[in-house]
Structure formats: C-alpha cells, structure tokens
Amino acid sequence: MDRTVEAAALAGSKAATDLSFLGLFLNADLIGKTVIILLVLASFWSWAIIIEKLMRLRRLQARANEFEDMFWSGGSLDDLYDRVGATPPCPMTAMFSAAMREWRRSSAKGLAIAGQVKAGLQSRIERVMGVTFGRELDRLERYMSFLASVGSTAPFIGLFGTVWGIMNSFHAIAATKNTSLAVVAPGIAEALFATALGLVAAVPAVIAFNKINSELARYAGRLEAFSHEFNAILSRQLEERG
C-alpha cells in the first residue's frame, strides 16, 4: 500500500515537471493562476496605455508645430479661428478657440471700450484658457495613475506568488517525504515565474510613467507659454483699440 502511494506521488511529481510557461500556468493552483492572470493582464494593459500615450503625444506635438506656424505667420487671428475654431484638433487650438470665442462674444457686444471693461475681458479670456488647459491636460493624464499603480504593486503581487509557490514546494516535500528536485522543482519554478512576471509588468510601467510624465510636463509648459503669448497679443490689441 505504501509503495503504491509513493509510486503515485512520484508519478504525479514527474507529470508536474513541465516547466514551460504554459505548463507552469496549467499546473498552478487557483491562487497561483490568479496571480499569473493578474500580472499578465496588467502588463498587456500597461503596454496598451504606453503605446497610446506615446503615439498621441507625438501627434499632438506635430499638430502644435503646424498650428504655431499658422499662428505666427502674420495672418488674421479671425481667419485662423474660422479655420480651426469649429473642430480644434489639439489642446493648443482648443485653448485658442476658447479665447477667440470669448473675444468675439465681447467684441460683438461692444464691451472692449472702457479701461475696466477691457481688464475684465482680458481676465475672462485668461480664465477661459486656464479652464481649457486644465480640461485638456486631465484628458492627457488619464490612465497615468494605472501605470503608477502597476509599477508600485506588481512586484508585490509577484512576491506573493513567489511565497505561495515556495509554500507549495514545502507542502509537496511534506506530503511525499521526498526532497528530490522532481518534487520541489514545480513549486520553485512557479515561484520564480511569478517573480519574473511581476518585474515584467512593473519595470516597463515605471520607465514609461517617468518618460510620459516628463513629456506631459514639457507639453504643458508649451501650452502655458502659448497662453501667455496669446494674452500678450490680446492685451496689445485692446490697448490699440483704446
């Protein structure tokens, strides 16, 4: 009877020595599979966010270059607004369109005359551009918190999977009373696999978060500089009308 149990245990341990990625996943228990699935999903979703953010920032920088070329070409601001005001393709044009709408609304009512009224108009334009800037920046920063969360939590989730795999190895040793490599290898391999997945998910997320965050800060600085320049232009035009 004892020989039969021991033979069955050894047979089971040999069947569980498939150390491929798929084999490790299939041979893991429910908790081990849950950890692996969570880390794989987090990694895929992180890469989707990273690719989308980098491509979007590249497009926005290109569109900002095109808009600034048109803006500083010396043409009429009203003509430029008529071309891009209806459907602004980027945050910079959205800020410009919001400011020009307020400008036209006030000019149509004949408000840009008295000194106090002109100061109020310029203040409203600054607030409108500030609100548009904040809204557009919030859209750009969407899902950045997910990257930060993956970068900070994925190693600990992998560490939990590591501890769980080692515990399974000790349970296998206790059950079979055998310390051979065939008994402990599946649990140790599962533990190392969870550690590797945690790092695979966390390292790109941290690097991409820092990279994208710096790109967003640079782009936000560009938008703020445009806002100051545009307000200076409006201020000069208000003084000329006065």
pLDDT of residue 110: 57
Contact (CB, 8 A) for 112 and 118: yes
In this prediction the pTM is 0.79
Non-local (6+) Cβ contacts of 168 within 8 A are 29, 32, 186, 187, 190
Q: Read off the tokens for 89.
A: 């393709």
By residue range, what is the domain housing residue 24?
2-241
pLDDT of residue 210: 95
**Mean pLDDT, each 10-residue run in order, the chain (242 residues):** 42 52 74 89 95 95 92 83 82 90 73 56 86 92 93 92 82 72 71 88 95 94 91 75 58
- Give residue 175's identity as a one-letter amino acid code: A
pLDDT of residue 30: 85
Residues in the chain: 242
Domain count, the chain: 1
pLDDT of residue 10: 41
